[in-house]
Structure 1
């Protein structure tokens, strides 16, 4: 991440007062910190179609699951196995997320892990300025599934592709976007606020171009850097 009192080359030719250059390495470093702090783990027990979290729904797709645990409720334990990989391109941001989804059956008050599926998710993203924060929103582009282990027989991945697409769009992506919308603070001098900010993307880098105002002033006067 680089802040320069001189305008970034990408902001030259504009009237912007400030240019902040952000390399994709900075985003990947931030993602690695969140990963190392154990902040990329979620337990899902509520979904829009709650029948998905009952073994009866999977009676014909995973017969052994239903025979062993008839009409039991389930939970999904989502844990990223590595930090997300973020890329910046002229057309926008993108990323790859790898997560293990462990299926837990709630049997007689006990949570029993019965299977684990590795899901590799490709997303595209829109990066926005929110106040003095850099925020964003991700969209699902594609995913792959691989059965890591199972105690209830084989899972035919092609049979659960459609269900997984719905789950990722209605449950997983909203979880990710709830964090992305909060964003993270840009390196702005205390007391100043970005105004008329916009983002320029290039290969592996984005630049925030903006004017600034002193937010504590009774008059929204512009201050040169």
Structure 2
């Protein structure tokens, strides 16, 4: 509770601070929750407002724990895709890769460089992420030969929904911008890699993220609650969940 409950004639307003934190080391995120106020509503029994602070605190914890990274290999890409993680595919755009590392499979390491940031605007939830993409050639003895490192700025849209007693989401890629950070295979046009990496993100990264987001995060409950007639609206700086409640 961040303030005393406000008791009105037909409702009770509770002001709560919802935050994710590492149970081993509770570290406050370097940003503060913004105040917001729920609009008058009387169609449902319960209304829950959740600010972007709560979601961003989760991103802060996960990023500090080093879990917001993903290793991508060719076996993770659908067999029907023309995009393959090998030096032949990348050699079409960067010929020196095919010459120096002929016939080898590749591995990509996608790692967050800064904590992703979620913003809420009316009917729109957007995540901005800054990552690095490190490409390796996989040698026959399984050692990794570094090829290049890219800086990647990505924007994704998030569709949020309530599943049972959990808040879940699914994301889609809006755009991504690439710049070259380091190359072990000489200079090349980074923009030429955009279509390949967009394909990798849409085929592997986004589906992997969505599997985790679909598991959902528990909403605050009282006793054995069941939500009914639930609706979710994305508003400025927060989401509003209106629902009826059944106790068992």
Please state if 1:6 is matched with 2:12. yes
Q: CA deviation at 1:130?
A: 0.5
Does the 8 Å contact 1:7/1:17 carry over to 2?
Answer: no
Unaligned runs of 5+ in 2: 6-10, 15-36
Q: How does 1:41-190 map to 2 (within 5 A)?
A: 41-45=69-73, 46=75, 47-48=77-78, 49=81, 52-109=84-141, 110-190=143-223
State the secondary structure of the residue aligned to 1:53. Answer: coil
Give the alignment's TM-score, normalised by structure 2: 0.80
Distance 1:80 1:102 in 2: 11
Q: CA deviation at 1:11?
A: 5.9
Q: CA deviation at 1:7?
A: 5.7
- Report the counterpart of residue 222 of structure 1 in structure 2: none
Does the 8 Å contact 2:233/2:239 carry over to 1?
Answer: yes
Q: How does 1:192-211 map to 2 (within 5 A)?
A: 192-211=225-244
Distance 1:212 1:11 in 2: 20
Q: CA deviation at 1:200?
A: 2.3
Distance 1:124 1:91 in 2: 11
State the secondary structure of the residue aligned to 2:195. Answer: helix
Which stretch shows the higher mean deviation, 59-68 or 121-130?
Answer: 59-68
Distance 1:125 1:203 in 2: 15
Give the alignment's TM-score, normalised by structure 1: 0.87
Q: CA deviation at 1:163?
A: 1.7
Q: CA deviation at 1:56?
A: 1.4
Which stretch shows the higher mean deviation, 67-76 or 193-202?
Answer: 193-202
Deviations 1:127-155 (A, max 9, x none): 10011110011111111001111101123
Deviations 1:29-67 (A, max 9, x none): 111111111221111112123762111122231122111
Distance 1:42 1:51 in 2: 18
Q: CA deviation at 1:208?
A: 1.2
Which of 29, 39, 56 pairs up with 2:57?
29
Q: CA deviation at 1:188?
A: 1.0
Provide the aligned length of Structure 1 versus Structure 2. Answer: 215
Unaligned runs of 5+ in 1: 218-225
Deviations 1:104-149 (A, max 9, x none): 1111321222211111111111110011110011111111001111
